[in-house]
Amino acid sequence: MMKHLLALHGGKPVRDHYLPYGKQSIDEDDIQAVINILKSDFITTGPTIKQFEDQMAAYVGAKYAVAFSSGTAALHGACFAAGISTDDEVITTSMTFAASSNCVLYQGGVPVFTDIESDTYNIDPALIKDKITNKTKAIIPVHFTGQPAELEEISKIAREYNLTVIEDAAHALGATYKKKKIGSISDMAMFSFHPVKHITTGEGGIITTNNEDYYQKLLQFRTHGITRHPNNLTENHGPWYYEMQFLGYNYRMTDIQAALGLSQLQKLDSFITKRKQYVAMYETELKDLPEIILPKQLNHVDSSWHLYIIQLNLSMLKVDRKEIFQALQQENIGVNVHYIPVHLQPYYQKLGYQKGICPHAEKLYESIITLPLFSQMSEQDANDVIHAVKKVINFYKK
């Protein structure tokens, strides 16, 4: 391999500095919004959180939104609100980050991994019914890379079997399914505000829902199971009185984070437009390379493009994915791989999940590479990625 790399990189790399696969976009307005909160009376749990929740709900078209300290915490809250408990089964995909199934484990439930569609990388609705048992409580579809899963089919199955649908929409803020915004369709939807996502609060997440019962449970769950609401108290000693009614968690977002989120939300659509611009460049310039396979885009959805993932047609290349990956890194292109299927992780293997249960996901993992994609990129950055991919692929093709 080293000989190949030396031959490939004997000249100058495409870039003289490293381009990450993802990065936040912070401007002076964002910085000032945070400074304003630091100078205010509230920096932890204050009015800015509710403002952020209200604007997020309005953006996606949901009645309610509840902010959390992370996307993972938000998913945990959704599992609690849905009543998932010991030995309850939840159907989800393995082609995702571990949080999508860890949230089920936190509640004592059992993740049931279902394979993906090979072309969209999303959970295959045709396989879901076979996974349903009398213990099944919910479905967690993941909108992988920002392209919505087939929610109409999933919702139909959920209604038939009285299951809750919790969308893991960490990748899909701003995406639409059949002209409806993600976050307004299912029982609950989670969005993440990690720095590589569409907008950031540093760390943070949110659940949107149209169900008032879920909304109230989520509010209480993120604050140790404590309520001060007079209508919910079992007794009332006075205006200071509160009750811890179940075991909740400290999953609160801060006003500092919410202020950053509010500022970022004003720019979300422009961020997504930039991402789509660079995706269009990738599609135009890379579509004629038979050595790679581009992601399929469905006509009835509008992806918000969190990630852009290519598959390598390994039968047409002289080397494996690892060498292609390292060669692109040597060109200062910060490629990544999303994801290692969750059921292959050592912890899940110890729980009894075995290789082979999701063959399409496992096969996809062996050939995928994530290209850089974020709103702060320039056209030159995108052209550098294209140049590097063509350079490396042409060097290694058979």
CB-CB contact of 275 with 375 (8 Å) = yes
**Mind listing the domains of the chain with CATH numbers?**
2-22+268-396 (3.90.1150.10), 28-265 (3.40.640.10)
Q: Given the DSSP bridges, would you call strands 188-192 and 205-209 parallel, antiparallel or unpaired? A: antiparallel
pLDDT at 12: 86
Query: Mean pLDDT for each consecutive 10-residue tract of the chain (398 residues)?
Result: 56 92 98 98 96 98 98 98 98 98 98 97 98 98 98 98 99 98 98 98 98 98 96 94 98 98 98 98 98 95 98 97 96 98 98 98 98 98 98 96
Catalytic residue positions, numbered: 197
Among the listed residues 285, 371, 358, the one whose alpha carbon sits nearest the alpha carbon of residue 325:
371
Among the listed residues 376, 202, 170, 175, the one whose alpha carbon sits nearest the alpha carbon of residue 269:
175
3-state secondary structure of 333: strand
Radius of gyration of the chain (CA): 22
pLDDT at 8: 65
**Using CA atoms, how far apart are residues 167 and 375, in angstroms rounded to an integer?**
24
Measured between its terminal Cα atoms, the distance across the chain in Å is 16
Tell me the angle at which helices 268-286 and 379-396 cross, rounded to the nearest 10 degrees: 30
* Consecutive H or E run containing 327: helix 321-330
What pTM did the predictor assign?
0.96
pLDDT at 361: 98
Q: Given the DSSP bridges, would you call strands 110-114 and 368-371 parallel, antiparallel or unpaired? A: unpaired
CB-CB contact of 220 with 230 (8 Å) = no
